[in-house]
């Protein structure tokens, strides 16, 4: 995120305005990460609706912009996504909201509930820079550390904390779909719901 120091913070992608506030992007993260939000295609489509006021006609461009902005400007290839999926996720914005709020307040004097605006990339830079002694950073360590490499006395403690702060099952398949796949799955869903609605209407007329 060297752009923070040299180029400022992006407000658009290839000329298309983005909704850049951290609250909006936390919603995007929750949509993409939590499988209960729907199928992968449905989650990507809803995330696009969150990011853009009007989704670009070029759907592949829209998806590229989503992944670029969501990842704070990092170019994420399919191989990198598969590699990162093997690593344990250290936090959940929905599950860890209180700990994240407390860490920002104690470390930066920022109340995330009263801020008028904070750019997503700026928020993530601050999040990554939180001190290791904050509870959220300790919890992230307990969740992700390789227990096999720890001494016996520490291993027991980490196992206890890992159980206490266990994350709900989340999606690890964040490799972006193609525009065609999102279109196909979205239209399949629309067609299915239309058919169900028509059937219900016909039944009500009998």
Query: Considering the domain boundaries, does residue 43 fall inside one?
Result: yes
Q: What's residue 74's pLDDT?
A: 80
The whole domain housing 40 covers 3-167
Closest CA to 44 of 143, 177, 200: 177
Structural domain total, the chain: 1
CB–CB of 158/146 below 8 Å? no
* CA 140 – CA 50 distance, rounded (Å): 27
Tell me how crowded residue 79 is: count the other CB atoms within 10 A of its CB. 9
Query: Considering the domain boundaries, does residue 200 fall inside one?
Result: no
* CA 161 – CA 142 distance, rounded (Å): 6
CB–CB of 31/175 below 8 Å? no
**pLDDT tens per residue, range 37-83:** 677 888 888 999 999 999 998 888 999 999 999 999 986 554 544 44
Q: What's residue 135's pLDDT?
A: 98
Query: What average pLDDT does this structure show over 157-163?
Result: 95
Query: Considering the domain boundaries, does residue 150 fall inside one?
Result: yes
Query: Considering the domain boundaries, does residue 25 fall inside one?
Result: yes
Query: Considering the domain boundaries, does residue 178 fall inside one?
Result: no
> Can you say how many angstroms the Cα of residue 135 is from the centroid of all Cα atoms in its chain?
21
Query: Considering the domain boundaries, does residue 188 fall inside one?
Result: no
> Can you say how many angstroms the Cα of residue 158 is from the centroid of all Cα atoms in its chain?
26
Q: What's residue 169's pLDDT?
A: 64
């Amino acid at each position: 995120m060297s752009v923070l120091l040299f180029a400022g913070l992006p407000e658009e992608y290839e000329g298309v305005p983005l909704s850049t506030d951290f609250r909006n992007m936390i919603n995007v993260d929750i949509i993409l990460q939590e499988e209960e939000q729907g199928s992968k295609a449905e989650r990507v489509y809803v995330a696009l609706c969150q990011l853009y006021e009007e989704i670009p006609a070029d759907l592949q461009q829209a998806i590229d912009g989503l992944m670029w902005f969501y990842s704070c400007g990092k170019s994420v290839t399919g191989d990198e996504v598969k590699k990162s999926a093997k690593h344990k996720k250290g936090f959940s914005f929905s599950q860890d909201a209180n700990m994240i709020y407390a860490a920002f307040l104690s470390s930066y004097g920022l109340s995330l509930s009263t801020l008028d605006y904070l750019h997503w990339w700026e928020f993530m830079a601050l999040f990554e820079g939180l001190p290791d002694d904050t509870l959220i950073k300790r919890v992230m360590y307990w969740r992700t550390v390789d227990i096999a490499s720890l001494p016996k006395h520490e291993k027991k403690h980490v196992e206890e904390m890992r159980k206490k702060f266990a994350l709900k099952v989340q999606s690890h398949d964040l490799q972006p779909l193609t525009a065609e796949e999102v279109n196909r799955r979205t239209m399949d869903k629309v067609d299915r719901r239309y058919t169900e609605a028509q059937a219900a209407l016909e039944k009500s007329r009998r």
